[in-house]
């Protein structure tokens, strides 16, 4: 049994167990879900430790260099004269996915621990949770576009119900907004996927294929096919490959989210229960960034290179615009949601630079933000569970009544605003280094972009510290008075167990960035080399 | 990646490493120590810093005027770029290493007594040790990335300590302000580092700015800048000349912002007076002696980077800051705020000195200032504590930091009084003090610098002399108001119980230690000339001054200072203040040149407004568009539903009705009566015939 396949589908087994367990034992469901995520985390650690590095393991466009690969025939239809329809089950990882995979499996453990707050309809909740778990892991492992697409769409379904059924007051609205927003992007992605399928032939069998790695090799395209590099086909008068890139980019940009395609995020976050917020911010946004690197840029590198300026510009806009919005927020969760928009802007900027520093920085920033957003949303959830309020102005002087909680909030805030020693600093700094260098290396981005983006770091300090000062410092003054004061107890054991590993991880990868970089370096180098070959 | 080092050097490196890491270890131990007021915490931190001080003295003796030592290990690789972390020991770094320890040690001792009754005793020492670690690591960091890391950590520990009493609103406003102001400098520094990296492809300080450095060799070719090859297109291999020349100035602006933020220079100085909300011992260590000097240290580290234009800007800004802060200090009544503005003013001197090329004098002033200003702050701490005692004993509602309520304390606090005099005299720069030696060097070189330049540049030395006189004035005013005359609240409150003293050895010893650093003897054998000081010989660049100035200026400035001091003493001890407490000039000085008001109106409010506007855009425009889209979709679906029901279905209905109508009509013919059949047959035949006839 291939360990990646096991990693992807083991949650389903546990989900099945929960489904078959009678509801009167519902108190045990959360432990089963936790066990599922822990097993998965254990497997990820195993994969991480056995992940080989070196020039021979770059991956990206070399299928033979991927690791833990499993390739199975899945759907084979003989279509007579048209040829054979060939859809394979291909999973495998390289440096672009290993760090995100590792991060995802840890975040899922945290999300399972955060699910303790769910009180209603536990069976449904945990089954959906585990389906979602399978889908997000699958996305990072799939190498076949068809498989990727299935996992990608499969994420939406559980999320829709998780937000719509276990969310806050306006949950239905938020759920449908989120669902339609993301579906809007992925529907067009389907068309591009089919177009690519019809353009690419597996050199081994001569059949059309959905294999993403093969889509990266221009030699595999049919001479006159719609997405063929040499054919210069057009769609509605625009070059076909530009349209294809644009469609894929928009689909993933909605996920990232890139301003102005981000407005689903604040609503979804505010309404979603804590564990779903964690998965949304911690993992789902990274699917967007990962998709841009692996799929959009990987398959259409020359288009990405030609339009990197616009990618970078949208990155800078996201950074500044998200930060300014965060500054205006009065709801803690919404503030964190906008800060995510700002931080993910660095990812886009780093990617757009198409330099090793920039792309490594972007991946690092994704990993770092995965942990930090998890921590931030978990912390916001703690206070919401206690008093069912998140208004920043409704609290004051929390440091005096919840000192341990405040300590973790400080760690999370300062780590997020890029204090060196914590992970976000490395990610942001090297995204900026890459963005600045790119003009000299490949001429993609103008110098001023990095300079403007650095303003986001300043604004980040402003909104986090302002929130800190308003909510946690000063004399105790709560909107709910004495009732709140008794309700606002300090962290309990479960919360500490959840927060300590997160704090340690962001510190560890901040102090030893090689934990991430050593695994991703070869692939990033391979990717950059591949981009420049075109 | 380990490079070869002789055993002696690697021993030095290890000693340094221990000296730097000991405070960190103390911070970690204190962090896990039980009890909020655990007295052990103070001694753990103090013994760490004591050991660290001894070790750094050893390192100092090994490195000073010997060869620099540089050791590093591989930290991580990103792409093909290797990042190292290491220690660079040269004269500058060992000097700072020793200085930080020498100032931190008395402050630790003092803090044990000063913070003894505070509920956050343990937390205080955790933060303090963490600060010491960051500061020590900052001065020995060997590459720009690690330098930046500790640069920010120093700011972070300052944030923690300013807001130490986090239930006080003013304190938490102040620490937020301090951190954000410092962040402006941080992104400046970050941009500069990125620019340097993209030009020189290395972060290594030794390679960049050391003796045989890249920057030096680049500047040999082109004095005006390192970004472009000179006219003959001689280029230094390994350097990318791809940036337009403007980026050299942007890099300078970044460094300048960093310096202005950390060392509280115009226009980013406003956080420092507010930072006085922290414990006074912290103000003494961080906001007078060490952290605020980091900006000047940075200038010294990257000094080869600047071209003459940039240096001139530094000189002008430093001079302006020195003068501005001194005028503000004249009109303040808060004891710590006076000292804070005095610090800003003295830092202005150091920056100005860097600008005029008085590299070594600037560092010299940094060192001497650290001692006397730290001493003055410790004095202020004692005074504030004792006045607070008077307040509590008598249940008065006075601000213990306001010098208007003080006076006559020299009788009650004789030791503190003497210490204040020593510190004050050193600050005023009178002969026989260390302050005289360093200030003298700066002033003479400023005059030498302006000679032969455009007369406009004469303003720099003129204003710096003026600042010296203002300094003498405000420090006299402060000391007279605090220590001379009679206690000002005594006549108002008839039954005043005064039960105060200088405090125990934990107060006295630290001040005594710092006071020894305020005299000339530590730095030079000659009390009135630093020309042959061991200190200045440690740095190559910068000279002790030009011939004609070295005599004239110190003598005239000293005489003028003495006159000013006498004048201030006369007017304040007689309470015959001839200055009106109103008017534009007074308002400007009292309101601190309106910087806070201007920043609030011009920067903070507009940014918050833009933030709200963005949020409005987000809700109304972007989301509005989405909602419009959704509504349009619903409208279209309604139209489709209407068409479906009325038109498509309507057509089907019509068809049905038509069929039914025809059926009904036809049914009439099937009545079953023969007459009708016959009749209809006739009608049909008649119709056929009629048709036949007409067509």
Q: What is the pLDDT of residues B178-226, one digit of tens each?
A: 999 999 999 999 999 998 888 888 888 888 887 766 776 676 666 666 6
Q: How sure is the predictor about B542, in pLDDT bands with cuts at 50, 70 and 90?
A: very low
pLDDT at B547: 53
Inform me whether the C-beta atom of residue A53 falls under 8 Å from chain B C-beta atoms.
Answer: no
CA distance B98 to A441: 43
Neighbours of B44 (CB within 10 A): 21
β-partners of residue A85 are: A77
d(CA B53, CA B103): 9
Q: Using CA atoms, how far apart are residues A351 and A297, in angstroms rounded to an integer?
A: 9
Over residues B505-510, the mean pLDDT reads 89
Measure the CA angle with vertex A469, ends A465 and A473; round to 5°.
Answer: 140
Which SS3 state, helix, strand or coil, does residue B230 take?
A: coil
By Cβ distance, the residue of B80, B197, B622 closest to A263 is: B622
Average pLDDT over residues B378-395: 88
pLDDT for the residue B234: 59
Of A263, A450, A454, which has the smallest distance from its Cβ to B618's Cβ?
A263
pTM: 0.91
The pLDDT-based confidence of B1 (bands split at 50, 70, 90) is very low
How far is the C-alpha of A194 from the C-alpha of B271, rounded, in Å? 60
pLDDT for A119: 86
Question: Would you say A221 and A227 are in contact if contact means Cβ atoms under 8 Å apart?
Answer: yes
- Residue A359 CA to residue A470 CA, distance in Å, equals 36
CB contact (8 A) between residue A360 and residue B179: no
On chain A, the residues whose CB falls within 8 A of the CB of B246 are: none
Chain B interface disruption, residue of A433, A434, A459, most B CBs within 10 A: A433
User: Tokens standing for A455?
Assistant: 């303003």
Question: Least CB-CB distance to A397: which of B167, B180, B623?
Answer: B167
Whether residue B152 and residue A356 make contact (CB cut-off 8 A), yes or no, is no
Q: Would you call A472 an interface residue with chain B, using a CB distance cutoff of 8 Å?
A: yes
In chain A, which residue's Cα lies nearest the Cα of B176? A465
What average pLDDT is seen over chain B? 86
Q: Which of A257, A404, A469, A504 to mutate to test the interface with B (most CBs of B within 10 A)?
A: A469
Of all residues in chain B, the one with the smallest CA distance to A406 is B166
pLDDT range class, residue B136, cuts 50, 70, 90 = very high
Each residue's pLDDT tens digit, A56-76: 888 888 888 888 989 888 888
Among A30-39, A285-294, B8-17, B404-413, the range scoring the smallest mean pLDDT is B404-413
Using CB atoms and an 8 Å cut-off, which of residues 590-619 of chain B contact chain A?
Answer: 607-608, 610-612, 614-615, 618
More confident of the two residues A214 and B452: A214
Q: Which of B512, B50, B434, A28 has its CA nearest to residue A20?
A: A28
What separation in angstroms does the CA of B264 have from each of A428, A442, B294, B438? 26, 39, 10, 20
Collect all residues of chain B within an 8 Å Cβ-Cβ radius of residue A324.
607, 610-611, 614-615
d(CA B32, CA B30): 5
List the single residue in A with minimal CA-CA distance to B200.
A437
Neighbours of A460 (CB within 10 A): 25
Q: A-chain residues within 8 Å CB-CB of B257? A: none
Residue B219: predicted pLDDT: 67
Task: State how far the Cα of B434 lies from the Cα of B427, in Å rounded to an integer.
Answer: 9
Helix (H) or strand (E) holding B466, with range, is helix B459-483
pLDDT in tens, chain A (534 residues): 788 999 999 999 999 999 998 888 888 899 999 999 999 999 999 999 999 888 888 888 888 888 898 988 888 887 777 677 778 899 999 989 999 999 999 999 999 999 988 888 889 999 999 999 999 999 999 999 999 999 999 999 999 999 999 988 888 888 988 888 888 888 889 999 988 988 888 888 778 888 888 888 888 888 777 888 777 788 888 888 899 999 999 999 999 889 888 889 988 988 899 999 999 999 999 999 999 999 999 999 888 888 899 999 999 999 999 999 999 999 999 999 999 999 999 999 999 999 999 999 999 999 999 999 999 999 999 999 889 888 899 998 898 899 999 999 999 999 999 899 899 999 999 999 999 988 888 888 888 898 899 999 999 999 999 999 999 998 888 888 888 888 888 888 999 999 999 999 999 999 999 999 999 999 999 999 888 765
* Maximum pairwise Cα distance, chain A: 79
Residues 512-531 on B with a CB inside 8 Å of A are none
Contact between chains at A414 and B156 (C-beta distance less than 8 A):
yes
- The two most distant CA atoms of chain B are separated, in Å, by 152
The predicted structure's pLDDT at residue A516: 92
Dihedral pair phi/psi, residue B39, rounded to 5°: -65, -25
Predicted local confidence at residue B576, as pLDDT: 65
* B176/A469 CB distance under 8 A: yes
Residue B540: its pLDDT value, please?
A: 57
What pLDDT score does B498 carry? 78
- Per-residue exposure over B566-591, b if at least 16 CB sit within 10 Å of its own CB, e if not: eebeebbeeeeeeeeeeeeeeeebee
pLDDT reported for residue B225: 66
Cβ contacts from A onto B, under 8 A:
144
Chain A residues with CB inside 8 Å of B184's CB?
458
Distance CA B427, CA B450 (A): 24
d(C-alpha B614, C-alpha A266), whole Å: 14
Complex ipTM: 0.91
When CB atoms are compared, the residue of A329, A361, A465 closest to B179 is A465
| d(C-alpha A303, C-alpha A240), whole Å | 10
Structure confidence at residue B544 as a pLDDT band (50, 70, 90): very low
Q: What is the tens place of the pLDDT at every residue in B278-325?
A: 899 999 998 888 899 899 999 998 888 888 888 999 999 999 999 999
Mean pLDDT along residues B389-397: 84
> Is B631 at the interface with chain A, CB within 8 A?
no
Interface probe with A: pick from B32, B73, B79, B187, most Cβ of A within 10 Å = B79
Q: Which residue of B has its CA nearest to A467?
A: B176
pLDDT in tens, B640-671: 999 999 899 999 999 999 999 999 888 877 77
Gap from B423 CA to chain A (nearest CA, Å): 35
Choose among A43, A57, A28: nearest CA to A524: A57
Distance CA A473, CA B173 (A): 9
The CA-based angle A191-A59-A11, given to 5 degrees, is 70
Report B:351-390 residues touching A (Cβ under 8 A). Answer: none
Per-residue pLDDT, B91 = 87
B485 backbone φψ class: left, alpha, beta (φ>0; ψ -120 to 50): left
**Residue B280's CB: how many other CB atoms inside 10 A?**
26
Chain A contact for B148 (CB, 8 A cutoff): yes
Cβ–Cβ contact B75 with A under 8 A: yes
Q: For residue A325, which residues of chain B lie inside 8 Å, CB to CB?
A: 611, 614-615, 618
Q: Is the pLDDT of residue B230 over 60?
A: no
pLDDT of residue B80: 82
Nearest CB to A325: which of B75, B194, B611? B611
Q: Model confidence at B3, in pLDDT bands (50, 70, 90)? A: low
Using a CB–CB cutoff of 8 Å, tell me whether A455 touches chain B.
Answer: yes
């Amino acid at each position: 049994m291939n360990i990646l396949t096991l990693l992807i589908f083991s949650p389903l087994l546990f989900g099945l167990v929960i489904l078959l367990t009678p509801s009167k034992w519902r108190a045990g469901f959360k432990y089963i879900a936790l066990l599922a995520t822990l097993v998965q985390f254990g497997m990820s650690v195993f994969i991480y430790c056995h992940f080989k590095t070196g020039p021979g393991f770059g991956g990206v466009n070399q299928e033979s260099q991927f690791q833990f690969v499993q390739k199975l025939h899945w759907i084979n239809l003989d279509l007579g004269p048209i040829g054979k329809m060939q859809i394979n089950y291909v999973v495998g990882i390289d440096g672009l996915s290993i760090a995100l995979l590792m991060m995802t499996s840890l975040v899922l453990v945290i999300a399972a621990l955060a699910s303790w707050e769910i009180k209603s309809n536990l069976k449904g909740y945990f089954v959906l949770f585990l389906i979602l778990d399978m889908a997000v892991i699958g996305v990072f492992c799939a190498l076949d576009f068809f498989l990727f697409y299935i996992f990608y769409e499969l994420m939406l379904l559980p999320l829709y119900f998780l937000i719509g059924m276990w969310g806050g007051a306006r949950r239905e609205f938020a759920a449908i907004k989120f669902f339609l927003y993301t579906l809007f992007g992925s529907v067009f992605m389907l068309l591009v996927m089919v177009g690519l399928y019809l353009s690419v032939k597996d050199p081994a069998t001569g059949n059309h294929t959905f294999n993403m790695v093969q889509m990266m090799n221009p030699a595999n395209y049919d001479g006159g096919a719609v997405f063929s590099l040499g054919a210069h086909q057009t769609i509605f008068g625009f070059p076909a490959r530009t349209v294809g890139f644009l469609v894929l980019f928009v689909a993933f940009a909605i996920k990232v989210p890139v301003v102005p395609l981000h407005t689903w995020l604040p609503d979804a976050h505010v309404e979603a229960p804590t564990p779903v917020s964690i998965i949304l911010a911690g993992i789902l946004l990274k699917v967007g960034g990962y998709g841009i690197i692996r799929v959009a840029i990987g398959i259409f590198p020359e288009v990405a290179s030609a339009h990197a300026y616009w990618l970078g510009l949208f990155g800078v806009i996201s950074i500044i615009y998200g930060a300014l919005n965060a500054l205006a927020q009065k709801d803690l969760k919404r503030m964190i949601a906008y800060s995510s928009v700002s931080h993910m802007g660095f990812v886009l900027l780093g990617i757009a630079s198409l330099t090793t520093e920039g792309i490594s920085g972007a991946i690092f920033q994704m990993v770092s933000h995965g942990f930090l957003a998890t921590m931030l949303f978990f912390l916001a959830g703690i206070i919401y569970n206690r008093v069912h309020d998140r208004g920043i102005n409704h609290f004051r002087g929390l440091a005096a009544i919840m000192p341990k909680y405040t300590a973790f909030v400080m760690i999370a805030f300062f780590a997020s605003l890029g204090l060196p020693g914590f992970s976000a600093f490395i990610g942001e700094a090297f995204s900026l280094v890459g963005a600045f260098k790119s003009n000299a290396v490949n001429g993609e981005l103008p110098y001023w972009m990095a300079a403007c983006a650095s303003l986001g770091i300043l604004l980040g300090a402003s909104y986090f510290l302002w929130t800190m000062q308003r909510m946690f410092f000063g004399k105790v003054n709560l909107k709910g008075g004495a009732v709140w004061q008794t309700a606002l107890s300090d962290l309990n054991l479960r919360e500490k167990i959840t927060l300590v590993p997160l704090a340690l991880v962001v510190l560890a990868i901040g102090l030893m960035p090689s934990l991430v970089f050593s695994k991703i370096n070869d692939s990033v180098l391979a990717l950059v080399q591949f981009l420049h070959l075109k | 990646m380990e490079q070869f080092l002789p055993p002696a050097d690697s021993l030095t490196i290890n000693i340094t490493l221990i000296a730097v890491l000991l405070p960190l270890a103390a911070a970690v131990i204190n962090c896990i120590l039980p009890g909020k007021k655990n007295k052990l915490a103070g001694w753990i931190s103090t013994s760490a810093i004591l050991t660290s001080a001894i070790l750094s003295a050893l390192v100092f003796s090994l490195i000073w005027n010997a060869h620099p030592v540089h050791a590093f290990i591989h930290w991580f690789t990103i792409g093909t770029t290797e990042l190292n972390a290491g220690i660079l020991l040269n004269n500058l770094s060992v000097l700072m290493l020793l200085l930080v320890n020498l100032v931190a040690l008395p402050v630790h001792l003092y803090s044990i007594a000063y913070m003894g009754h505070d509920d956050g005793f343990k937390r205080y020492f955790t933060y303090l040790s963490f600060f010491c670690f960051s500061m020590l690591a900052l001065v020995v960091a060997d590459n720009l990335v690690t330098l930046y890391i500790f640069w920010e950590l120093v700011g972070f520990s300052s944030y923690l300590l300013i807001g130490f009493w986090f239930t006080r609103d003013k304190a938490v406003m102040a620490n937020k302000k301090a951190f954000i102001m410092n962040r402006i400098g941080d992104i400046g520094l970050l941009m500069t580092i990125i620019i340097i990296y993209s030009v020189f492809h290395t972060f290594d300080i030794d390679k960049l700015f050391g003796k045989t450095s890249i920057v030096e060799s680049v500047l040999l070719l082109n004095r005006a800048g390192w970004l472009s090859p000179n006219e003959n297109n001689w280029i230094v291999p390994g350097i990318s000349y791809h940036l337009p020349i403007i980026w050299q100035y942007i890099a300078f602006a970044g460094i300048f912002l960093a310096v202005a933020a950390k060392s509280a220079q115009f226009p980013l100085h406003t956080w420092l007076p507010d930072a006085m909300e922290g414990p006074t011992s912290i103000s003494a260590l961080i906001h007078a002696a060490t952290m605020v000097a980091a900006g000047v240290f940075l200038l010294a580290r990257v000094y080869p980077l600047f071209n003459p234009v940039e240096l001139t800007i530094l000189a002008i800004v430093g001079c302006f800051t020195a003068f501005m802060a001194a005028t503000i200090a004249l009109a303040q009544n808060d004891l710590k705020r006076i000292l804070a503005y005095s610090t800003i003013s003295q830092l202005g001197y150091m920056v100005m000195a860097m600008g005029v090329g008085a590299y070594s004098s600037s560092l010299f002033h940094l060192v001497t200032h650290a001692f006397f200003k730290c001493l003055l702050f410790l004095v202020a701490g004692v005074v504030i504590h004792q006045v607070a005692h008077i307040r509590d004993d008598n249940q008065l509602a006075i601000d213990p930091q306001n010098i208007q309520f003080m006076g006559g304390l020299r009788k009650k606090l004789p030791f503190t009084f003497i210490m204040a005099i020593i510190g004050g005299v050193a600050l005023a720069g009178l002969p026989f003090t260390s302050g005289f030696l360093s200030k003298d060097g700066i002033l003479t070189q400023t005059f030498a610098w302006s000679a032969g330049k455009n007369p406009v540049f004469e303003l720099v030395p003129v204003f710096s002399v003026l600042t010296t006189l203002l300094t003498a004035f405000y420090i006299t005013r402060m000391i007279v108001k605090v220590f001379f005359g009679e206690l000002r609240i005594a006549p108002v409150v008839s039954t005043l119980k005064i039960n105060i003293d200088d405090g125990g050895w934990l107060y006295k010893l630290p001040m005594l230690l710092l006071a020894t650093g305020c005299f000339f003897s530590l730095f030079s054998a000659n009390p009135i000339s630093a020309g042959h000081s061991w200190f200045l010989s440690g740095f190559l660049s910068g000279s002790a001054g030009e011939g004609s100035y070295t005599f004239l200026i110190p003598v005239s400035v000293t005489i003028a200072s003495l006159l000013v001091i006498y004048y201030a003493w006369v007017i304040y001890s007689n309470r015959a203040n001839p200055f009106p407490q109103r008017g534009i000039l007074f308002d400007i000085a009292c309101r601190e040149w309106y910087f806070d008001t201007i920043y609030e109106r011009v920067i903070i409010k507009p940014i918050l407004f833009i933030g709200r506007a963005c949020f409005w855009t987000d809700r109304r425009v972007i989301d509005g568009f989405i909602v419009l889209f959704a509504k349009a979709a619903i409208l279209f679906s309604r139209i489709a539903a209407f068409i479906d029901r009325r038109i498509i279905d309507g057509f089907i209905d019509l068809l049905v009705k038509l069929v039914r109508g025809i059926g009904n009509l036809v049914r009439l013919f099937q009545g079953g009566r023969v007459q009708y059949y016959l009749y209809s047959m006739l009608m049909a035949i008649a119709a056929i015939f009629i048709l036949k006839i007409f067509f």
